[in-house]
Structure 1
Amino acid sequence: MKFDLHTHHERCGHAVGTIRDYVEAGIRHGLQVIGISDHSPYFASPEDHAQPGITMPKSEFARYIDEVLKLKAEYAGRIDVLLGVESDFFPEHAEVYKAVYAQYPFDYIIGSVHLSGGVSIFNRKRWKGLSEAEQVEQKNIYYDLIEQSARSGMFQILGHIDAMRGFYPAFADIKTEAVDRTLKVIGEIGVAIEINTSGKTKDCGGWYPIHEVLERAFHFNVPVTFGSDAHVPDRVGDDWDEVAATLKGIGYKEWVYFKEKRPHRVAL
């Protein structure tokens, strides 16, 4: 069984294609399950569209849900279309987001940290001029947010847990115990992490997380799932077979997808 739980579409302002385009791409690429998980609006902002080009406006969210549910019904028997969302995680606004999500029948919610210390994790300038100690501090802040997101109870999946290395590959070489500490918490709680193949589209190349982090995730009994993080339909299911083989090589026997927020285990 092939599945992909992390896909976007044109509403977010930086992806190409309609939701239907991604569903059709899933069928072409041999998937039995496809999750639609566009970026959540900034629900804590007083503005309807706080960040054009990054996520959809709040006024589009209900229409997004409605469209996914209609496609779920239309494609039943051909491919299982799941309702998801990639949610930003802001500890200070967690209750606001929880209240919104409780109104809708999500199959799963991906929790992703995109802002750390008030700065985008993809900001190329954030590392400029930092000392070694300051770099460690920034990595610790990032993983503390990921740990808090795991503890929040809001998410079934944690998104791209080392994506801060996207435009700063040396991020992987910053030594800190925060990564193991965070993985231990994730494993104890039982939230899944995704193997996200969109790292290949960034300066760092490869997948999120890197192989060494996946090995540590296995050590801490962290469940895993798959997400292409496709922003163009052709990337749906990208590197599926390679990811499955890598996980088997590490020692994983299964991975999971989520339906009605319950894990469905799939043998590797």
Structure 2
Amino acid sequence: MAATRRSERESVNLFSDYHMHPQGHRLQRYDSALLDPWSKAARERGIRDFAITDHDRYHEGVDFEAFRRWREQNDDLTIRMGIELDNDPQSSEAGVAWVQRNWEKLDFVLGSVHFLDNWPFDRAGEDVGFSRRPIEEIYREYAVALRKLVERGWIDCLAHLDLIKIFGFRPKTDFLGYFEEVLVLAREKDLALEISTAGWRKPVGEAYPDEAILRRAKDLGIPFTLASDAHSPFHIGEDYDRLAQLLEKLGIREVALFQSHERRLVPLAAVG
């Protein structure tokens, strides 16, 4: 099975992963002990171009000098310095200010919505919140939060666009309609859109975002990054065999890479 997965992934050369969290979900200082397992795992999995994107609420642990040394020690890999900027009601204001101060030191900034007011809807045990209001109302509120995130700026790419589906709750009709305005706005702002395998290991059991959203984004000319949203080195490049099949199905043949916020598109050319 492992050999089959490796063959399928290499057939379309999925070599990038632009969503990784060495800190996990706690404040940890960047040093070799924290970062070395990530470069080792990326190398073993054939991921040659990747971005470290810890949550902005833990920005105090980001040490640019330690990151620079680690990148130099792994110069066979292309490692990008990034951050994930979300809408946490307690920390996002400070996170935006940190990104603004350090914009030139960063290669890549993800934007995401993890909160509806003070409700961290995607955390374990929070699925009960979806039964308290009509699902259509929750999706409308989520769409508004996404648009506010894009309008706030200081991001290069939108992460897991339909994260709100994480527990499998969704409107019965017009799923794409809730995301149309944010897709158009993202195109206007020249943002990329992440295709994430993380949903396959969540209760919803499907990639982020939905295929209908990906088709619409492709029609709009929005470029895509690839991501695992790894919170452990073991998740780097996870389910990239399934991702390869999804990209082939949708006719997505290039991937967006970033350096100092400058984007370039690279073909996912067949290997061998």
Q: What TM-score, normalized to structure 2?
A: 0.81
Q: CA RMSD in A?
A: 2.5
What 5-or-longer segments of structure 2 have no aligned partner? 1-12
**1:195, 1:226 within 8 Å by CA — same for their partners in 2?**
yes
* Count of residue pairs the alignment pairs up: 245
Paired letter, 2:41: A
**Partner SS state of residue 9, structure 1:** coil
**2:27, 2:61 within 8 Å by CA — same for their partners in 1?**
no
Q: Deviations over 1:204-250 (max 9, x none)?
A: 01211121221122122221111100112122112334324422432
Aligned to 1:49: none
Question: Matched residues in 2 for 1:97 and 1:129: separation?
Answer: 30
Instruction: Name which of 14, 17, 30 aligns with 1:4.
Output: 17
Deviation at 1:117, TM superposition (A): 2.8
Deviation at 1:254, TM superposition (A): 1.6
**Partner SS state of residue 155, structure 1:** coil
Deviation at 1:129, TM superposition (A): 3.8
What 5-or-longer segments of structure 1 have no aligned partner? 42-55
**Partner SS state of residue 85, structure 2:** strand
**Partner SS state of residue 65, structure 2:** helix
Q: What pairs with 1:207-226 in structure 2 (closer than 5 Å)?
A: 207-226=207-226
Paired letter, 1:3: S
**2:17, 2:51 within 8 Å by CA — same for their partners in 1?**
yes
Q: What TM-score, normalized to structure 1?
A: 0.82
Say which is worse superposed, 249-258 or 220-229, in terms of deviation.
Answer: 249-258
Q: Deviations over 1:6-39 (max 9, x none)?
A: 1112453399x82211111111111221211111
Residues 196 and 11 (structure 1), Cα distance of their counterparts in 2 relative to 1, 3 Å cut: closer
Question: Matched residues in 2 for 1:14 and 1:207: separation?
Answer: 28
**2:20, 2:53 within 8 Å by CA — same for their partners in 1?**
yes
Residues 139 and 27 (structure 1), Cα distance of their counterparts in 2 relative to 1, 3 Å cut: same
Residues 161 and 95 (structure 1), Cα distance of their counterparts in 2 relative to 1, 3 Å cut: same
Q: Does 1:116 align with 2:119?
A: no
Q: Deviations over 1:41-80 (max 9, x none)?
A: 1xxxxxxxxxxxxxx3x5423x3x333222112111x101
Aligned to 1:26: 42
Aligned to 2:74: 75
Instruction: Name which of 130, 136, 139 aligns with 1:127.
Output: 130
Question: Matched residues in 2 for 1:172 and 1:33: separation?
Answer: 36
Question: Matched residues in 1 for 2:91 and 2:169: separation?
Answer: 31
**Partner SS state of residue 186, structure 1:** helix
**2:112, 2:158 within 8 Å by CA — same for their partners in 1?**
yes
**Partner SS state of residue 54, structure 2:** coil
Paired letter, 1:68: F
Residues 30 and 117 (structure 1), Cα distance of their counterparts in 2 relative to 1, 3 Å cut: same
Aligned to 1:266: 266
Percent identity of paired positions between Structure 1 and Structure 2:
23
Aligned to 1:102: 100
Residues 34 and 107 (structure 1), Cα distance of their counterparts in 2 relative to 1, 3 Å cut: same
Aligned to 1:170: 169
Residues 174 and 213 (structure 1), Cα distance of their counterparts in 2 relative to 1, 3 Å cut: same
Residues 12 and 90 (structure 1), Cα distance of their counterparts in 2 relative to 1, 3 Å cut: closer
Higher relative CO (Cα under 8 Å, sequence separation at least 6) belongs to 2
Aligned to 1:52: none
**Partner SS state of residue 170, structure 1:** coil
Paired letter, 1:171: R
